[in-house]
Amino acid sequence: MYQMLENLLSGSHTVTANKGFNVSSYQKSPQSQEALVSAAANGDKDSFRKLVEFYQGSVFNLIMRQVGDFHTAEELSQEVFIKAYQGIKKFRQDSSFKTWLIRIALNHTNSYFTSKKYKKQKITTNFEVSLHDTGQADAEEMQNRKELVGCFQKALAQLKPRQREVIVLCALEGKSYEEVAGILKIPVGTVRSRLNAARLSLKKLMKDFR
């Protein structure tokens, strides 16, 4: 996590996303996933359950990287799938189901950051800062790294939603500019400009929090 933040703040897009969370090993071909989506849209609960099994790890990771708390990420993930279940009949399939689900997750997390629940909650982080990041480090250095991660979580929450989305998708999820442009339905140039603006905002906010 520490090295990822260093790369992010230095302007590097080649950031390695955190792989420390469980991702479902359930696999389906694009064709069979389309069949599951169609069946789920027609009320087949078992098909929707299989979609949840396949995407629950990805949704959890996306949210966890924003909120930094396992319990909160788990709760928000469940709410995202409830929203998806309630809205799947309206899914027009003009994008992939995964892209549609990511949009729901981003919007739901944005709503969480403006909620009374978040404002009352003590900001903590469950991200681990390990010695593996840059080799051996003394206790003081480890404490500095933990503080950096904590500042990052606070700063990320304070970003404008548009900036937070590109930081999460590009830098933390490791998606290409083209992929992010498709998810957010914006030009690639806009992705780049928002990412640059987000980095500047993050640096300023983190400086204020430290």
pLDDT at position 29, please? 57
Query: Which amino acid type is present at position 5?
Result: L
Residues 73 and 134 in one domain: no
Residue 20 belongs to some domain of the structure: no
- How sure is the predictor about 136, in pLDDT bands with cuts at 50, 70 and 90? low
- How sure is the predictor about 149, in pLDDT bands with cuts at 50, 70 and 90? confident
Exposure string for 149-184, b = 16+ CB within 10 A, e = fewer = bbbbbbbbbbbeeebbbbbbbbbbbbbebebbbbbb
Residues 185 and 109 in one domain: no
Residues 101 and 49 in one domain: yes
Residues 110 and 175 in one domain: no
The length of the chain is 210
From the number of C-beta atoms within 10 Å of its C-beta (0-12, 13-18, 19+), residue 67 rates as buried
- How sure is the predictor about 154, in pLDDT bands with cuts at 50, 70 and 90? confident
Domain that holds residue 43: 25-126
Query: Does residue 102 carry a pLDDT above 90?
Result: yes
pLDDT at position 27, please? 47
Residue 1 belongs to some domain of the structure: no
Residue 79 belongs to some domain of the structure: yes
Nearest to 31 by CA among 90, 93, 115: 93
Residues 121 and 158 in one domain: no
Query: Of the ranges 109-118, 119-128, 200-209, which one carries the lowest mean pLDDT score?
Result: 119-128
Query: Does residue 135 carry a pLDDT above 90?
Result: no
Residues 120 and 142 in one domain: no
- What is the pLDDT averaged over residues 19-25? 37
CATH number of the structural domain spanning residue 177 = 1.10.10.10
- DSSP assigned state of 114: T
Residues 85 and 112 in one domain: yes
- DSSP assigned state of 88: G
Residues 29 and 47 in one domain: yes
More confident residue, 4 or 143: 143
Helix-, strand-, coil-residue percentages of the chain, each rounded to 5? 70, 0, 30
- pLDDT above 70 as % of the chain: 76
Domain end (from 86, 103, 126):
126
Residues 109 and 182 in one domain: no
Residues 31 and 120 in one domain: yes
CATH number of the structural domain spanning residue 64 = 1.10.1740.10
- pLDDT above 90 as % of the chain: 57
Residues 55 and 95 in one domain: yes
Domain end (from 109, 126, 143):
126
Residue 109 belongs to some domain of the structure: yes
Residues 34 and 56 in one domain: yes
pLDDT tens digits, one per residue of 37-93? 999 999 999 999 999 999 999 999 999 999 988 999 999 999 999 999 999 999 988
Residue 13 belongs to some domain of the structure: no
Domain end (from 126, 142, 171):
126
Structure tokens belonging to residue 153: 């979580």
The total domain count for the chain is 2
